[in-house]
């Protein structure tokens, strides 16, 4: 099956230019394609996974993927569909972020694969040497202000009196178009891919190459991975799931994939070839348990891809034991993970000096699982509290040494998912 047909089948194409011509080119020989990533944050996030996975699919089909790091364009800032101007970032910070992002990208692609080895390049290399007057004369003349201000990606910003758009941001599409022009000339790159919010910028590049070189190139955009609140994942947006373990721990990353919707899980499973379209339809019609099993496989594959097998194993072990109330199944090394960079940040840790026979009601109030001793008593009597995975219904219960694991730890749980870790010192 042709890669374009496969992407259509996987619902991975939002927009595409000259679909049949592109299929014909791909059927004739392997192509060079690229996707750009601006280092405007210290890490990529899950919103970047789709373009990375598409690049990965192209490479597996024998095509050459090029990753463009926007060392120059990140100094400008892409205004596409942004509600306000991005804060300026200094060059020194961008250089640090570039290194982080390159490290993350290298996990997805093969850089030692003979003729179609992946390539990473930085557009600062050529923009740093371009003369402004030459750029305006040779490139700017191909762009119509009329069409630029009518692009949906910037129209809303232009119409906002409180924000507007600076000339710096407005020029971004020219720079991205020139990237495509440069890559076509140097590597004969004939396809640019990106998120659906990049369509306007991609078309600018296609038009520049057509007008200046009289050559046909192509563009393809991928649906955005949208948050549950309807907003896209973005480096300047809150509530992101990052690929950097210091910003989103492997445990949180693993849990994110375990808790996505069934339709999202089926979508990503199909992309990663965990399941076929036929199996997707089968899953949708069958038992809910099949979906859960598929989510486990999906969470495993993506967590290993991003964080490695060791971090996946730790995340899975902690997750399985916590949510099955099998706390005694946790190893001492698992508890130590709560205190490292790979710690489980959404499980609060409280430190207490150990004294034998501590009243449970008092402890629940101290760790803020209850608002008062009376509230704590009600929670306990209603079987809403677990100590190391076991329900305790005696409101006069006292914590003793048998409730302390590895002579250091006690895990309290309110309801099904509200965990607290107590470390005794």
Q: Are residues 274 and 377 in the same domain?
A: no
Which region holds residue 109: left if phi is over 0, alpha if psi is between -120 and 50, else beta? beta
Q: Are residues 266 and 125 in the same domain?
A: no
Return the CA Rg of the chain: 26
What residues act catalytically?
40, 45, 48, 82, 86, 176, 197, 232, 235-236
Where do runs of H (alpha helix) occur along 61-171? 73-76, 91-105, 124-127, 132-138, 145-149, 152-159, 167-170
**pLDDT class for 282, splitting at 50, 70, 90?**
low
- Give the per-residue pLDDT at 279: 59
Q: Are residues 107 and 183 in the same domain?
A: yes
User: pLDDT tens digit string along 151-209?
Assistant: 877 777 777 767 778 888 889 999 999 999 999 999 999 999 999 999 999 999 999 99
What range does the domain containing 369 cover? Answer: 349-424
- Give the per-residue pLDDT at 281: 59
Position 341 in a domain: no
Residue 70 near residue 103, CB atoms below 8 Å: no
Q: Are residues 386 and 289 in the same domain?
A: no
176 assigned ligand-binding residue: yes
- Give the per-residue pLDDT at 266: 84
- Give the per-residue pLDDT at 227: 63
Q: How distant, in Å, are the alpha carbons of 295, 304, 329, 373 from that of 323?
A: 15, 21, 11, 26
Joined together, the tokens standing for residue 191 give 């396809």
Q: Are residues 296 and 372 in the same domain?
A: no
Bridge partners (DSSP) of residue 421 are 349, 411
Q: Are residues 77 and 180 in the same domain?
A: yes
Residue 343 pLDDT > 50: no
Residue 127 pLDDT > 70: yes
Q: Are residues 75 and 193 in the same domain?
A: yes
- Mean pLDDT, the chain, integer: 88
- 324: part of which helix (H) or strand (E)? none
Q: Are residues 169 and 33 in the same domain?
A: yes
**pLDDT class for 342, splitting at 50, 70, 90?**
very low
Position 64 in a domain: yes
Q: Are residues 313 and 357 in the same domain?
A: no
Position 135 in a domain: yes
Report the CATH number that the domain containing residue 30 is assigned in CATH. 3.40.50.620
Instruction: Determine which of 115-129, 203-217, 306-320, 343-357 has the lowest per-residue pLDDT on average.
Output: 343-357
172 assigned ligand-binding residue: yes
Residue 1 pLDDT > 80: no
User: pLDDT tens digit string along 354-391?
Assistant: 888 899 999 999 999 999 999 999 999 999 999 999 99
- Edge-first strand order for the sheet with 390-391 is 349-352, 418-424, 409-414, 385-387, 390-391
What domain count does the chain have?
A: 3
- Give the per-residue pLDDT at 84: 65
């Amino acid at each position: 099956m042709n890669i374009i047909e496969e992407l259509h089948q996987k619902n991975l194409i939002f927009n595409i230019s000259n679909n049949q011509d592109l299929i014909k080119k791909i059927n004739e020989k392997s192509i060079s394609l690229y996707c750009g990533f601006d280092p405007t944050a210290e890490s990529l996030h899950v919103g970047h996974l789709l373009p990375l996975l598409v690049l990965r699919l192209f490479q597996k089909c024998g095509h050459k993927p090029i990753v463009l790091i926007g060392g120059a364009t990140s100094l400008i800032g892409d205004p596409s569909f942004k509600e306000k101007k991005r804060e300026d970032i200094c060059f020194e910070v961008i250089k640090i972020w570039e290194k982080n992002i390159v490290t993350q990208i290298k996990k997805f692609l093969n850089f030692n694969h003979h003729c179609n080895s992946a390539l990473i390049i930085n557009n600062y290399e050529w923009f740093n040497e371009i003369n402004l007057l030459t750029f305006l004369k040779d490139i700017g003349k191909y762009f119509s202000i009329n069409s630029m201000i009518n692009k949906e990606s910037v129209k809303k910003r232009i119409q906002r009196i409180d924000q507007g758009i600076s000339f710096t941001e407005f020029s971004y599409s020219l720079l991205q178009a020139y990237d495509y022009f440069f890559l076509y000339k140097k590597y004969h790159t004939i396809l640019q891919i990106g998120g659906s919010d990049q369509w306007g910028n991609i078309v600018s590049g296609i038009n520049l190459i057509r007008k200046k070189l009289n050559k046909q190139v192509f563009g393809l955009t991928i649906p955005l991975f949208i948050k549950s609140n309807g907003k896209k994942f973005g480096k300047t947006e809150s509530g992101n799931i990052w690929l950097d373990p210091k910003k989103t721990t492997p445990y949180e990353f693993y849990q994110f994939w375990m808790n996505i919707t069934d339709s999202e899980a089926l979508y990503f499973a199909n992309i990663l070839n965990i399941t076929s379209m036929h199996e997707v339809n089968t899953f949708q019609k069958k038992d809910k348990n099949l979906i859960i099993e598929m989510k486990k496989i999906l969470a495993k594959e993506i967590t290993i891809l991003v964080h490695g097998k060791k971090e996946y194993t730790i995340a899975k072990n902690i997750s399985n034991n916590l949510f099955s109330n099998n706390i005694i199944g946790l190893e001492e090394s698992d508890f130590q993970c709560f205190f490292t960079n790979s710690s489980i940040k959404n499980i609060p840790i409280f430190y207490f000096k150990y004294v034998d026979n501590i009243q449970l009601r008092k402890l629940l109030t101290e760790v803020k699982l209850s608002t008062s001793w009376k509230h704590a008593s009600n929670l306990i009597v209603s079987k809403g509290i677990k100590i190391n995975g076991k329900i305790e219904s005696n409101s006069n219960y006292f914590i003793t040494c048998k409730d302390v694991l590895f002579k250091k730890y006690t895990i309290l749980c309110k309801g099904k998912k509200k965990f607290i870790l107590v470390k005794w010192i």
